[in-house]
Amino acid sequence: MKKILLLTSNNNFYLNAFQKKNYSFLAGDYFFSEDDFIKAEKNNFDFYIIETDHNNFQQFREFIKKNVFQSEILVLASEINEALSKFLKEQGISDVLSPGDISKISFYLNLKKMEIDQTEGDKDKFIIWDETKNNIKILKSLISRFDYQPLFVNSAEELFSNLNLKDLQFIFINLGTEGLDINDFLKKTYLYPDIKKIPTIVYKDMEVGLFVNEIVSGLNKLTKVILSSEELYSFLVDILYRQELISLIHKIKKGCFYEENSFLVDRKLGQSYFNKGEDLFFLNNIFSSEKTKEILGLNNKIRKLIYKTESLRWLKKDNNNEVVKTCGWHA
């Protein structure tokens, strides 16, 4: 049975909603009393569900900062302003849902339970060279959510030694990582030409800013962009969700013989009849039990995809089609 510490403005609402679920709840104070700090220290909780808004934000910040959480944290917030967004990213917290949405909170808890119980298996992989705890936590959450395996490395040697891994999809490198000498790293890439076969993205905490040697170092031979950490989060949420969604839509289109039936799109039924005539009587059967089962199954997968992405949605930046700065852009 999974143990959850519940710190919300309406604990009874959630306790009643989840009373038949296989969870053990311990409720605390919305304003984070001293007793809640003791509960967090003495109990090994699997999850924390914590609500915050303008009324308790300062107490929320203090509670999070004083507790080094090894467990999963779900934040409930009706609005994510700049201050909350910045704080959550600094603390490596990736999941936020709206208060009171029991179906999505329940789905999240079930999803995290499956992630905890799941073995890595034979998954596509991402290599990440980063030592920043908040980045590691968020990137692990994002990548694992879409059934990929994040592989964190601590040196250039470890990175290069993993280039031949099966199903390696991306390499992410934090330019602010201690021990990363850009010029030396780029020289070593000539000894490991396979790295150019794998998409590589470099990123950095832009509050520190880019240094001249990072801009003119020749990184553009290895990567097309230098992103901020926030831009990397946004990119990942977008592309991982987009790929899975479009793949499922493609399967639905194939299952309902979309190309054959596309003449029906945005046309009046009578017009379609005149255009196709007697061919309408010889279309492929979309009413078979197999096709119905297939489409329902794909529809259910799309629903699950939307739900599992819901708590990460706030990480997607609205860039309004702005051009992403590429390596050497300022040079």
Looking at the fold, whether 61 and 126 belong to one and the same domain comes out as no
Looking at the fold, whether 102 and 160 belong to one and the same domain comes out as no
Whether residue 213 has pLDDT greater than 60 = no
Among candidate residues 116, 133, 154, the one where a domain is terminated:
116
Span 103-134, pLDDT tens digits: 999 999 989 877 766 666 689 999 999 999 99
Alpha helices in 43-101 (DSSP H): 57-66, 82-91
Rank 18-27, 117-126, 286-295 by mean pLDDT and report only the highest: 286-295
Looking at the fold, whether 19 and 141 belong to one and the same domain comes out as no
Residue numbers of the domain that contains 273: 122-331
Report the domain count for the chain. 2
Looking at the fold, whether 192 and 67 belong to one and the same domain comes out as no
Non-local (6+) Cβ contacts of 131 within 8 A are 154, 174, 177, 178
Q: What is the pTM of this model?
A: 0.90
Looking at the fold, whether 112 and 148 belong to one and the same domain comes out as no
Looking at the fold, whether 291 and 152 belong to one and the same domain comes out as yes
The values of phi and psi at residue 267, to 5°, are -130, 150
Looking at the fold, whether 28 and 131 belong to one and the same domain comes out as no
* Long-range residue pairs from 39-43, CB within 8 A, at least 24 positions apart, any chain: 39/5, 40/5, 40/67, 41/67, 43/3, 43/5
Span 224-237, pLDDT tens digits: 888 999 999 999 99
Residue 44 belongs to domain with CATH number: 3.40.50.2300
Non-local (6+) Cβ contacts of 1 within 8 A are 22, 23, 24
Rank 30-34, 38-42, 190-194 by mean pLDDT and report only the highest: 190-194
Whether residue 39 has pLDDT greater than 50 = yes
Among candidate residues 116, 134, 152, the one where a domain is terminated:
116
Tell which wins on pLDDT, 319 or 40.
40
Span 160-204, pLDDT tens digits: 999 999 899 999 999 999 889 988 999 999 999 999 999 999 999
pLDDT at 320: 61
Distance between CA atoms of 228 and 205, rounded to whole angstroms?
6
Looking at the fold, whether 111 and 172 belong to one and the same domain comes out as no
